[in-house]
Amino acid sequence: MKTSENNCRGPMRPPIEFYFDFASPYAYLASHRIDTIAAKHGRPVAWRPFMLGIVFKTTGAQPLVTYPLKGPYAARDLARSARLSGVPFVFPPGFPHATLAAARGFYWLEGKDEVLARRFAKAVFNAYFGEGRDVSGAEAVAAIAAALGVDRTAFEAGIQSPAIKERLKSETEGALAKGIFGSPFFLVDGEPFWGADRLDQVERWLANGGW
Amino acid sequence: MKTSENNCRGPMRPPIEFYFDFASPYAYLASHRIDTIAAKHGRPVAWRPFMLGIVFKTTGAQPLVTYPLKGPYAARDLARSARLSGVPFVFPPGFPHATLAAARGFYWLEGKDEVLARRFAKAVFNAYFGEGRDVSGAEAVAAIAAALGVDRTAFEAGIQSPAIKERLKSETEGALAKGIFGSPFFLVDGEPFWGADRLDQVERWLANGGW
């Protein structure tokens, strides 16, 4: 028995924790890089959607776009950063939308199939920020899941279940307890990194084990 | 007559505008890189201190350290980023201090000697964030200028002159009019970049003329 080993490649290494809200455009940019960076260093990634709006109630912050000057700058910076990395980017009309259904959908799927849950998360991000589609309602999110072969009725029931509602609540409280105040947010062996801007440092931290 | 040329190297190229508040630790980090980056691409840098607190009155923002969770994270992030780039960093006790005298001092010196003004700016930043010294009062700032050979009495009188007070006010209003809401902030041929994090993009923009 090799319970602590991973396909004979040695002991399973602890995951990079990737905390994000589906409504976070910088998290969308990060979602295109984090798995590749982690894999290069033999590390899995735990994708952890949470409700940034709940965290903002504690910290007093507001959605980026609501800030004068900073909001318009961010729209420009996002488009520019996306172009630089060759990632399609559209600012979704009516942004920001509610992302409760998407986050619950992720955890419901994760309970069944972790790989599928990650494909779902990427599909939600790409629909939202790659194509500018509205992903706020249960129906829109269920359609994304259905396109990945998920039973739509089961999905819609699943995201309404008390267990899934509780799971998202507890993930959000857990994020806050870990000091997470923004999205995207990465924990690398406990070391916190905030923002898509910090992925180069995340990569270096993984390579060197700190500095 | 070659009035538009710069030492036979061709036409003088427009400066990178580097807007900052002396109380901004991320601007301190940027102050160690911006001149080198610009020089690599044959560009001068116009250092432009302004009063971030005045801008915050318009935008409703607050000093970084006052935000719950984000404040403590920033302290860690700054120390970590400084270590990575080999720049000494101390969080000054009692941070943030008033930086009115330093900013006025810069413009007073600039009117006499641009190179000296830049040396003064670097000395203020290094005293503040490299050594953790209090640089808030006119006396502290005058001592820094005096160490660079500046006449202390003239300096202390200069920073109290109506013209210099007006100059800083107008630079701050000008920054706000250009949409500058944070520090450090760079304008490269009108393209805005916010944050020490964006210096890699600034460098690429200079190399490619955009993307």
**Residue A165 burial by CB count (10 A; 0-12/13-18/19+): exposed, middle or buried?**
middle
pLDDT at residue A11 in the model = 63
Q: Torsions phi, psi of A48, nearest 5?
A: -135, 80
Let me know: does B154 contact B116? Beta carbons within 8 Å: no
Cα separation, B32 vs B19, whole angstroms: 14
pTM (2 d.p.): 0.93
Put simply, whether A80 touches B (Cβ < 8 Å) is: yes
Cα separation, B2 vs A53, whole angstroms: 59
Put simply, whether A77 touches B (Cβ < 8 Å) is: yes
The sheet carrying B185-188 orders its strands as B45-49, B16-20, B185-188, B191-194
Q: Is the Cβ pair B61, A80 closer than 8 Å?
A: no
Which residue of B lies nearest to A200 if distances are taken between CA atoms?
Answer: B197
B-chain CB neighbours of A192 within 8 Å are: 73, 76
pLDDT at residue A63 in the model = 85
Q: Report yes or no for ipTM above 0.90.
A: yes
pLDDT tens for chain B, 211 residues: list them. Answer: 344 444 445 566 899 999 999 999 999 999 999 999 999 999 999 999 999 999 999 888 888 888 899 999 999 999 999 999 999 999 999 888 899 999 999 999 999 999 999 999 999 999 999 999 999 999 999 999 999 999 999 999 999 999 999 999 999 999 999 999 999 999 999 999 999 999 999 999 999 999 9
B 88-127 residues with CB < 8 A to A = none
Put simply, whether A177 touches B (Cβ < 8 Å) is: no
Residue type, A16: I
pLDDT at A1 over 90: no
**Is the four-CA dihedral A7, A9, A13, A16 of positive or negative sign?**
negative
CA distance A53 to chain B (A): 15
**What domains, with CATH codes, occur in chain B?**
16-208 (3.40.30.10)
**Beta pairing class for B45-49 and B16-20:** parallel
Q: Where are the beta strands (DSSP E) in B27-180?
A: 45-49
- Map tokens 């069944």 to a residue: A112
Let me know: does B189 contact B202? Beta carbons within 8 Å: no
